[in-house]
Amino acid sequence: MSTFQSMAVVPSVEEMYAVKVCLTEEIPNALVDDIPYFVQFFEPENLDTAIRIAWCESRGFSEAYRSDNKDSGLFQFIPNTWKWMSQLYDIPEWDTWVITRYGLPHKEKNKTYKTNLGFGFSKVQHIPYYNIKAAAHLAEDTYKGTRWTDWNSSKWCWEDAKEWRERWTKEEN
């Protein structure tokens, strides 16, 4: 997992917007808003592969779901793999409903706000923050060394960076 994780620093709105502007031509639009989480949880040398996998697995749609085996979220986790990650790392269990504020877990108890602006309520596996965190742990921390084999079924899509770029730019245009 990225050393940025241990810093527990959340980027400012201005920083996130600056990153978004810089990246709109480098990555699929569907993943631009989630880049801070990729940077927070993945080691720098793994960012490119992680982004390619997330797009190939879900086209960047955090609510992606496949009913035959319950693949869910950006990285299309299945319940058993998610359970494994939640037991090893600080990740809520599958299907847990989580409150977020501006995409991050909302942990402030007994605090009231004048509006509900920025709040969300979703199953944990569909929240990009947690889905990306679980993927980073699975790829970088669970095995000895970085492994992407849990996403081999979509390897045809993400393995070659040049072909991947052509694929997503064609789909977006």
Give residue 76's identity as a one-letter amino acid code.
Answer: Q
Q: In what order do the strands lie in the sheet with 97-101?
A: 104-105, 97-101, 119-123
Determine contact, residues 126/69, Cβ cutoff 8 Å: no
Q: Please compute the mean of the pLDDT values over residues 10-37 and round it to a whole number.
A: 75
Asked if residue 140 lies in contact with residue 43, where contact means CB atoms within 8 angstroms, the answer is yes
Of the given ranges (23-27, 61-65, 108-112), which has the lowest mean pLDDT?
A: 23-27
In this prediction, residue 115 carries a pLDDT of: 85
pLDDT tier, 23 (very low <50, low <70, confident <90, very high otherwise):
low
pLDDT in tens, 110-169: 888 888 888 999 999 999 999 999 999 999 999 888 999 999 999 999 999 999 999 999
pLDDT of 2 > 70? The answer is: no
Per-residue pLDDT at 7 exceeds 90: no
DSSP of 92-148, one letter per residue?
A: PPTT-EEEEETTEE----S---SS-TTEEEEEGGG-HHHHHHHHHIIIIISSSS---
Q: What is the reported pTM?
A: 0.85
| Backbone Cα Rg of the chain | 16
Contact predicate 69/81, CB 8 Å: no
Q: What is the pLDDT of residues 76-116, one digit of tens each?
A: 999 999 999 999 999 999 999 999 988 989 888 888 888 88
Q: What 3-state DSSP class applies to 64? A: coil
- The torsion defined by the Cα of 88, 89, 91 and 94, in degrees rounded to 10, comes to -20
